Chain A
């Protein structure tokens, strides 16, 4: 018997070290960049981080001496804290930049900001921006590894990863499950990344929402498109609700909050159509009473929403670790 068998923290660290692998790409920009074995490796690694994160002592030195820069052009307390915590637990020096309140507001372009920050030699750059393609553009101009933490309405790949992790831990698998992604698909980067990764992992995906919030020709993404929650949720193993931005509700895309909730809000009645043992997810922050009823959201028997937040830190630790595994060893 090894010493680690008596020490769960040591065991978790040993598992992590055994599972570390070099990320297949220079940057993590899109969930579609991963093939099935790579995604599975990443989820396995993330699983090991979950075990570590549940110990009293959660810190590692895997990223010791590395600089992680959080570059959030768009505010997001939740995602930014998640990356910050992930970086700190891995031993990195974490710097948060919020260019919204700094020089970008003074007319500096994204590229100029990137070049300036690049000169400070961050090893890892986590980027959130309101424009689709911004992370990709920035990645062309920096020497560190870029993680896309959400670019406009395009992708949010670490969210898809943490969602897949939550599903896999709840069901023991992703393959063969039916996942219904519901709500404002049109404006959702979470939906786009999830469609890509869930496909890769062998799930069957449905998109459910009013036609005004469905992207043109979404059925060509290899998904089933439903405009009715009843049919869309029928037999679903996982119901993933999307956030509806309030400004999109007042007559622009849907007539009113109450009409939206009546037809597309998730409540017990609609959820009863889903498969037995269905689990409900939401990327947060939730609009209670708009896209989801509190009764459902807060029920620990069905809701995975709190798990998602926990998995977020672990999934991001896995991504940062494997990207850093591509770097030259510190001190070499």
Chain B
């Protein structure tokens, strides 16, 4: 493959979270890296070899980094492959994503990490990173080979949607991972309070007659995790925090100076429990949607910086897994393609400045994992997204590039159209027309 032509993006609205710059400018990329960034000025005379892209005032930002994406590879390739997920990512302006280890078989040893990374080399529309399992088979019993998986290239460890129930195992994982300075992502949910549940307990679930998960299930396990973190001094990412109660716990832990961060899924910033009305299984998620008070608390926590990171929580489930009675239906939603426009809703509703929203999907995840991306600076990887943030959009699930079309955003009116996505200096997506 020939080296891609150098590109000069001019006449853009640059948003760079690292320098906290939001204003006019341009970026030049060459040989896979950003070579020049003009903030509030114009480039001098450009060489003829450079292709100039007039951005027409559209947003130019670092490509999105999504810390939580499930594919079906290996084991459920009909739902999603690495390649199909990468196409969806490119269409959504996501230039790097971390695949979860809850595949079949699970990514719980170095050879599986290596397998995914080798497969990822053949995919050029996004950078694919891997999270390894924290425990063997995601069973929460024996520690996985965290050191070897790190060496093979995994970026963090997690048991994905499964909480590590045994506190002793959790303590050991935190302690051991610390030795490799490895981040543990953990979804807190007390298994007993959540057992058999399909929706968060409350007035709404009660009326619908849905088996319920106690609203406290998340907070109780997070309290335990924080206590263990305090004792061990490890590094913890609270995976998809979803309740106002747990935010209080998180605030206390951050106040103590623990190495703790939290992610929230775009779904929990966009929907509440009323969206499962009439048993809409496309809005059945893990963690389940909660009340509007919780959604508002999550938005406020993102605005205040208590929550650092927003993830798509991309989780493909084909219609046959979704078109079932609510308590039997698979949880999860695809999200790579709708992450950016859905996030921009918070900007259009004047809830958060654009810079803070972009930070939560670029620089913040990059810093947490020690990646070089997520910023517009010379030397940074040439991963960019160009987006018309005002363009209206009606989400049509049937037109999503994901192999699975389970989007709760189907039919929603959003604003923000990705015009172009650049990975490693190459244009990997361009809007039609």
Q: Which residues of A contact B (CB under 8 A)?
A: 109-111, 129, 131-134, 136-137, 151-155, 186, 189, 192, 215-218, 220-221
B208 at the interface (CB under 8 A from A): yes
* Contact indicator B209/A137 (Cβ below 8 Å): no
B156 at the interface (CB under 8 A from A): no
A220 vs B202: C-alpha distance when bound (angstroms): 11
Residues of A within 8 A of B212 (CB): 216
* Contact indicator A155/B325 (Cβ below 8 Å): no
B52 at the interface (CB under 8 A from A): no
Residues of A within 8 A of B202 (CB): 216-217
| Interface pairs (25), CB distance under 8 Å | A110-B324, A110-B325, A129-B325, A131-B325, A131-B326, A131-B327, A131-B328, A132-B326, A133-B208, A133-B210, A133-B279, A136-B278, A137-B324, A137-B325, A152-B327, A154-B208, A154-B209, A154-B210, A189-B209, A215-B206, A216-B201, A216-B202, A217-B202, A217-B203, A220-B203
Q: Considering the complex, give the chain A residue whose CB is closest to the CB of B321.
A: A109
B121 at the interface (CB under 8 A from A): no
* Contact indicator A132/B327 (Cβ below 8 Å): yes
* Contact indicator B209/A221 (Cβ below 8 Å): no
| Chain B nearest Cβ from A249, distance in angstroms | 17
Q: Considering the complex, give the chain A residue whose CB is closest to the CB of B200.
A: A216
Residues of B within 8 A of A134 (CB): 325
* Contact indicator B206/A132 (Cβ below 8 Å): no
B116 at the interface (CB under 8 A from A): no
Residues of A within 8 A of B326 (CB): 131-133
* Contact indicator A109/B205 (Cβ below 8 Å): no
> 1/0 per position for B204-233, CB-CB distance to A under 8 A?
011111111000000000000000000000
| Chain B nearest Cβ from A205, distance in angstroms | 14
A132 vs B201: C-alpha distance when bound (angstroms): 15
Given contacts A131-B328, A153-B209, A189-B209, contact A111 B203 (CB under 8 A): no
B308-356 contacts to A (CB < 8 Å): 320, 323-328
| Best-buried of A132, A133, A136 by chain B (most CB within 10 Å) | A133
Residues of B within 8 A of A137 (CB): 279, 323-325
Number of interface residues of B (CB under 8 A): 20
A189 vs B210: C-alpha distance when bound (angstroms): 11
Q: Which of A111, A152, A154, A189 contacts B324 (CB 8 A)?
A: A111
A152 vs B206: C-alpha distance when bound (angstroms): 12
Q: Considering the complex, give the chain B residue whose CB is closest to the CB of A195.
A: B207
| Chain A nearest Cβ from B1, distance in angstroms | 45
* Contact indicator A132/B323 (Cβ below 8 Å): no
Given contacts A152-B327, A216-B202, A217-B202, contact A132 B278 (CB under 8 A): no
Q: Considering the complex, give the chain A residue whose CB is closest to the CB of B328.
A: A131
A152 vs B279: C-alpha distance when bound (angstroms): 12
A186 vs B196: C-alpha distance when bound (angstroms): 15
Q: Considering the complex, give the chain B residue whose CB is closest to the CB of A32.
A: B207
| Best-buried of A132, A189, A218 by chain B (most CB within 10 Å) | A132
| Chain B nearest Cβ from A99, distance in angstroms | 13
| Chain B nearest Cβ from A251, distance in angstroms | 14
* Contact indicator B211/A153 (Cβ below 8 Å): yes
A192 vs B203: C-alpha distance when bound (angstroms): 13
Given contacts A109-B323, A152-B327, contact A132 B203 (CB under 8 A): no
A28 vs B211: C-alpha distance when bound (angstroms): 23
Residues of B within 8 A of A110 (CB): 324-325
| Chain A nearest Cβ from B75, distance in angstroms | 18
* Contact indicator B324/A132 (Cβ below 8 Å): no
| Chain B nearest Cβ from A33, distance in angstroms | 13
Residues of A within 8 A of B278 (CB): 133, 136
* Contact indicator A132/B279 (Cβ below 8 Å): yes
| Best-buried of B207, B209, B278, B324 by chain A (most CB within 10 Å) | B209
A109 vs B330: C-alpha distance when bound (angstroms): 13
